[in-house]
Every structure is written in C-alpha cells, then in structure tokens.
C-alpha cells in the first residue's frame, strides 16, 4: 500500500472523523418503552440465532432482525432482554446496543470504522509514555512494552514512542501494516466490538492484541487503566469515578464478547 493509497483510504493520521458507531447509538436514544413481552429467548432460523420475544424475532431500531451467527452472543442478548423489568432500559443492555449499532450502522460503514481504528493507532496511548515519576515510567515499560512488541511482531512494523504529549508521527508503513490486520476483523459484529474496545481503552494496539489473543480481556483492561490506577494509588479512589468505571467495564465485556465470538 503506497502513501497515496493509504491517505486516500484512511486520511491523515489524527484527523477528526465522524464516529459511525456513536452515530448509530445516538439514534437509539428515545423515551423508555414499556416491556411488551412476557419471555425472551432464542431461536435458530436461516443459519442465524435470533433473539425471540414471545417467540417472535426482535428488531433493531432500523427494523432489521436482531439475529447473529453466534449462539453464545444470541443467548447473552436474550438474557439482557429477559432481565428488563417494567421498562426497557437500553442503559442496562450494553450488548444489545452494540449489536444494534453493528447491524444498523457498522454493516453499512465498515470502511469508516476500520479507518477510525487505524487513525487511533497513529496516536495510540501505548506510544505516549510518562517522563516521571520513575515508578510510573517503570510500570508502563513493564506492562505496555511486551504488548507493543508482540503487536509489532504481528504486523511486521515498529511504532515510534514519545514522552508526554509531544506528537510522535508513526511510519506510514507501520500504519499500513496495522491496517491490513484490521481489515481481517470480521464485520459487522466483531468489528463493532473492536471499535468499542478501542474507544473504551484508548488503544488500537491493545485492541489488536486482544483480537489476536496476545493478551486477555482482564489484562487488556488493566493495561488500559494503568495510569489511572497509579493515580488512584497516590491520591485515593473517587466513588463517582468508580461507578463510571464499572459501567465502562460492562460495556467493555460486551464488546469483548462480540470481538471474540462475533
């Protein structure tokens, strides 16, 4: 892939672009509807596993069948629907929201989603290291460097590191090699999962490592929050921040399920 080809497809690294996943999720924010079904389950039909509400296939906001190719994903979706009480609250259905985004948004905007992941890699959190204190510098090196090296070996390219917020321009060849691996992520479900993992961790490098099982979900989450956890160890925990992080973790777990089984 030449530089011109790369720029034509992905744009300039770091350029601001629309987020198709967020756009699809935004379209879902409506007043909470009443629960209109007695039972949620799954049914297999036409080679797909459908979420069934009282025996009838549920629909996405765009009226597409809420159906996936993975039985575990379908069962997890059905469990979210079954757990709803008098009102259907999307805030308590992270997997359903993500699958809806995948089917209604990502399916038609695959190139935009892949390009966004590559743009993240161009300014990835793992490439920006602390200059001090020494304890944090050592911690980042111990946790992040092995993951970075494995991803570099996977793609056959090297990333440039920087301290602080000084911009480090990544080699075009490295980003093109990274893009080829992103192209291999199946769409739309696994790709939607990858996009959400990336936004929740701030790292396309961690996302690709997770997608190729170079690192597990828990280790990915911990690596992504390394700096935050260090600050907590110094200044203490904030209750509201802890609650927000727990919500993000549920979103992350839903995204991982799609990335691994979608």
> Could you read off the pLDDT of 165-200 as tens digits, one per residue?
889 999 999 999 999 999 999 999 999 999 999 999
Residue 6 pLDDT grade (very low, low, confident, very high; cuts 50, 70, 90): very low
* Lowest mean per-residue pLDDT among 17-31, 106-120, 158-172: 17-31
User: Nearest 5°: phi and psi at 183?
Assistant: -60, -25
Are the beta carbons of 62 and 79 closer than 8 angstroms? no
Locate CATH 3.30.2180.10 in the chain: 33-88
The CATH fold of domain 33-88: ATP12-like (3.30.2180)
CB atoms within 10 A of CB 9: 14
Tokens of 143: 């946790």
Please give the torsion angle defined by the CA atoms of residues 4, 6, 11 and 12, in that order, rounded to the nearest 10 degrees.
Answer: -80
We find that the CATH architecture of domain 108-261 is Orthogonal Bundle (1.10)
Locate CATH 1.10.3580.10 in the chain: 108-261
Burial of 113 (0-12, 13-18, 19+ CB in 10 A): buried
């Amino acid at each position: 892939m030449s530089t011109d080809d790369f720029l034509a497809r992905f744009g300039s690294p770091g350029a601001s672009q629309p987020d198709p996943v967020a756009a699809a999720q935004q379209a879902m924010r409506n007043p909470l509807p009443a629960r209109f079904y007695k039972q949620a389950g799954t049914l297999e039909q036409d080679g797909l596993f459908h979420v069934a509400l009282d025996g009838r296939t549920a629909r996405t906001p765009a009226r597409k069948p809420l159906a996936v190719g993975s039985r575990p994903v379908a069962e997890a979706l059905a469990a979210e629907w079954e757990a709803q009480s008098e009102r259907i609250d999307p805030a308590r259905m992270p997997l359903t929201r993500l699958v809806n985004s995948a089917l209604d948004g990502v399916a038609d905007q695959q190139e935009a989603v892949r390009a966004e992941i590559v743009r993240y890699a161009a300014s990835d959190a793992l490439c920006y290291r602390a200059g001090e204190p020494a304890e944090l510098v050592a911690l980042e090196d111990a946790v992040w460097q092995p993951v970075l090296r494995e991803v570099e070996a996977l793609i056959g390219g090297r990333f440039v590191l920087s301290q602080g917020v000084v911009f480090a321009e990544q080699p075009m060849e490295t980003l093109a090699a990274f893009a080829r691996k992103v192209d291999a992520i199946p769409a739309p479900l696994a790709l939607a999962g990858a996009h959400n993992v990336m936004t929740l961790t701030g790292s396309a490098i961690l996302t690709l490592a997770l997608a190729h099982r170079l690192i597990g979900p828990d280790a990915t989450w911990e690596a992504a929050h390394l700096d935050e956890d260090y600050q907590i160890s110094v200044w203490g925990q904030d209750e509201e921040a802890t609650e927000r992080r727990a919500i993000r973790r549920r979103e992350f777990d839903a995204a991982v399920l799609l990335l691994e089984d979608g």
